[in-house]
Amino acid sequence: MTSRVHIFDTTLRDGEQSPGFSMNRDEKLLLARQLEQLGVDVIEAGFPISSPGDLEGVRAVAAEVKSCRVAALARARQEDVDAALRALEASPKPRLHVFLATSDLHLQHKLRMSRTEALEQIGRMVRFGVERCEEVEFSAEDASRSDLEFLCCAAQVAAEAGAQIINLPDTVGYATPEEYGEMFRRVIEHLGAGPDLVFSAHCHNDLGLAVANSLAAIGAGARQIECTINGIGERAGNASLEEVAVALHVRQARYGATTNVALDKIYATSRLLTSITGVSVPPNKAVVGANAFAHEAGIHQDGILKNPLTYEIIVPEKVGVPARRLVLGKHSGRNALRSRLEELGYETTDAELAECYGLAIARADARKQVSDRDLLSIVHKVKRAQPRPAGSRESTATAN
C-alpha cells in the first residue's frame, strides 16, 4: 500500500537566508507561483520577525498562493508568533511553524534555559498558536543531538498542546541515516502514531547525508519532508527537493510512498531559482545538474543508444530535462559519434566514420569536448577528402 509524503518547501526561508541566495518580495512571489505549480504541499515563505521586508514577503506570498499551505516561522516567543500570524492573515491555508531547541548544548549555551523552562515555553506558545491559527507545526531544533527521553517529552508537550505536525530536525547535519531513522521510531512509538499527528524531517547536508537521512525518516514513519529546490540552505544546504521526490518515484516499491510533486516541472523550477539567485548548480548535481543525463564513456553511450535503461534509472523528460546528451569527448565511442552525425544530417560510411572518429578523439584530447561546430568541420574535411564516383552529389548532407 502506497502512502503520501507531504513536501514542505523551505526554499523561501531556510534556502533564502543562506549567503548569496537572498530574494526580494517580487522574486519570492515569482518562485512561490512556480512552487505552487510544482505541487508542493507547504511553502515556508519566511521568518517574519527577522525584518520588515521578510514580513512583507511572507504577507505577499500568503495572499498570492491558494492551492497549498503557506507557513511562517517563529521562535517560541510571543513577538515572533505575533509577527508570523500578522504575515499569514491573508492566507486561506496558513500554518504557524514554532520552534525551540531541545539539545542541552543549545539550551545551556544559546538559550540559557532549563529543560523545565523549555517544556513550559513549548506548551505555552503552541497553545497560543493553536488558538489563533488552524494548523501549527512544532520543531525541536537540534533534535538529532538531543537527549532522546527529553526529546520525547518535548514532542509530547507540543502534541498535547495541539500541534498537528512534529518536526525533528537534523539541524547541523550531524546524524547518520541509521541514527536518524531510529530517533523517529522511538519518538513515534512514544507518542503513538495516529492520523491527526504528522511527523516531519528537516535535514541539513553538512556531511552530505541530508537526502539519505530524509529517506531514512520516511522509512521510520515520517510523512513530511522539509527540503529546498537545488538543495540550497544554511552552510552546506538542505535536503534537495528534486532528489527526494525522484528517489521516492524511482524506488516506490522500496519506500511505499509517493508525493504530489509534478516531476516534469522540476527542471524548470530549478532553472528559475538559478536565474533569480544567479547561482548555478554544480554540473554533477543529481537530477538537475548539466551532467545528470549526459554520457561520455563509449560503453555507456552504446548502452544508452540500444536501451536507455542500461544507464539511466529515469528518463530525462520525466523531470522536465529536454533530452539526454551524448557528450563527445576522448572517452566516447563510434556509435555515439555516428548517432550525432546523423542528427546533424550526415550519413557516413564505415571508412568515413573511422576517419572522423580519429580526428574527433584528437580534438577531444586537445579541447576536452568536441562541439557540433567541431564535428561539422571534421565531417566536411573527411567528405571532401573521399574520392567520389562521377556524377555524385557534392555533399551527402541532408536538410535539417
Domains of the chain in start order, with CATH, are 3-277 (3.20.20.70), 294-385 (no CATH)
pLDDT at 359: 86
pLDDT at 399: 36
Tell which residue, 234, 242, 295, has the closest CA to residue 272.
Answer: 242
Per-residue pLDDT tens over the stretch 361-376: 888 787 777 777 788 8
Weakest mean pLDDT among 165-179, 231-245, 246-260, 364-378: 364-378
pLDDT at 283: 87
Of the pLDDT bands very low, low, confident and very high (cuts 50, 70, 90), residue 263 is very high
pLDDT at 381: 86
- Measured in whole angstroms, how far is the alpha carbon of residue 234 from the centre of its chain? 14
For residues 34 and 270, what is the distance between their CA atoms, to the nearest angstrom? 10
Strands (DSSP E) found in the chain: 3-4, 6-9, 42-46, 69-75, 94-101, 136-141, 165-167, 198-202, 224-227, 257-258, 294-295, 325-326
Instruction: Tell me if 28 sits within 8 A of 61, measured CB to CB.
Output: yes
Of the pLDDT bands very low, low, confident and very high (cuts 50, 70, 90), residue 320 is very high
Instruction: Tell me if 329 sits within 8 A of 370, measured CB to CB.
Output: yes
